[in-house]
Amino acid sequence: MSLRDYDGWRRYGEWMKKNHENYQKQMSDREIMNAKRGTYIPPEVKNIDQMPDQKWHRRISFLKSGIRIIGYVFIPFNLLTATVLLIVSEAVGIIEELV
């Protein structure tokens, strides 16, 4: 063991003596947090009928992304088709937010 390691541990011991009460409080807080970790109760969800349908939202989002990718692929070949596809993807995005 080097002298530097010993000095570090010595200073840690001195700190523990000075801050023993605070250290014990931190440890008890950790134990309380660990005990509560397994007993999580989710909050009550209100207005569930107004929430979006996740399944359809995800499907429409994938459709929108596919249209957008195809639109970007068409940019070097046909600018008009690419523009129409990108505008359609934005319209599908609006529909996505309404689902």
Per-residue pLDDT of the chain (99 residues; tens, 9 = 90+): 555 566 777 777 777 777 767 666 666 665 655 555 656 556 676 777 777 788 899 999 999 999 999 999 999 999 999 999 999 999 999 999 888
Smallest Cα–Cα separation from 56: which of 96, 85, 3?
96
Cβ-proximal residues to 51 (8 Å cutoff; 6+ apart), any chain: 45
The CA distance from 58 to 53, in Å, is 9
Residue type, 70: I
The predicted pLDDT at position 81 comes to 96
Q: What is the pTM of this model?
A: 0.52
Tell me, what's the pLDDT at 37? 60
What per-residue confidence (pLDDT) applies to 61? Answer: 94
Distance CA 49, CA 51 (A): 6
